[in-house]
Amino acid sequence: MSKRKPTPSKGKIVDYWVSYLNEFLPPIYSSLRSKEEAEWEKIKKEYEPEPPPAKVNDEVFSASRAIFRQSKLNTDPFLAKMSGIDFGEPCCWSCGYYSNPDETSWNKAKYLEKCHIVPAMLGGTSDASNLLLLCKDCHKESPDLKNPKYMKQWFVDRENFHNKGLKKLKTLDNEVLMFVFKNQEKFFEYMEENKGIHNSNREAITSSQLYAMIGFYEEYNLGGYMVSTA
């Protein structure tokens, strides 16, 4: 009985997909993107320490986007989502979840798992072309089917991790949000004193954080301990 081929490292899987996605774009695209990045770095230096405006050379930007829109990376939903991944920061390719924002090594990202597009038990290979890097929750919920199109469709439909947090924030009154935003330093102090930690909770915005915002607003604003309204 032959041994199953070992799966490549997470870093090798990343290298494969970066190379594969780049095949859909002509060399001029990389050149234009390099110009964008160079100009962006120049703009940031000019505005330091203030945040720079989100603006680069319109002509270069428009040219690169026109090339991208005409490529398969824009017309194929699976490839479009894959091309939007920031491969410089280890995260779940499906929902965008990351455990440690300071982690830069894919191989050391223990919160990510190798997931087969076509399951090995159904004939799927262990080649990088049949593997995605997903968080444990996404890996557990991903479909195990022989036809790869269903796995890819699930991948495309999977909601971004951060969107769930935004939806929670939208349930708050704008006055609460603005009060927290204007008094962030004081709010973080309030969180340290009043919020516990659930290490198993991986939500972008937890229920504790959400209700801490309400508590902070009620105690410091409605309670008469005004912090700032400017």
Delimit the domains of the chain by residue range: 10-160, 163-222
Would you state the pLDDT for residue 8? 94
Closest CA to 109 of 130, 124, 128, 87: 87
Q: How far is CA 166 from CA 38, 80, 159, 175, in A?
A: 32, 23, 12, 16
Q: Which amino acid is at 124?
A: G
CA dist., res. 95 & res. 202, Å (int)? 12
Would you state the pLDDT for residue 42? 74
Would you state the pLDDT for residue 230? 47
The one-digit pLDDT tens for each residue of the chain (230 residues) are: 446 678 899 999 999 999 998 888 766 666 666 776 777 677 667 777 666 665 555 665 566 667 666 777 778 899 989 988 888 889 999 999 888 766 789 999 999 999 999 999 999 999 999 999 999 999 999 999 999 999 999 999 998 887 877 777 888 888 888 898 889 888 888 888 887 765 545 666 777 888 888 898 888 876 655 454 44
Contact (CB, 8 A) for 204 and 182: no
The DSSP bridge pattern shows strands 131-135 and 112-116 to be antiparallel
Would you state the pLDDT for residue 39? 72
Q: Does this model's pTM top 0.75?
A: no
CA dist., res. 125 & res. 131, Å (int)? 9
Contacts of 23 (CB under 8 A, 6+ apart): none
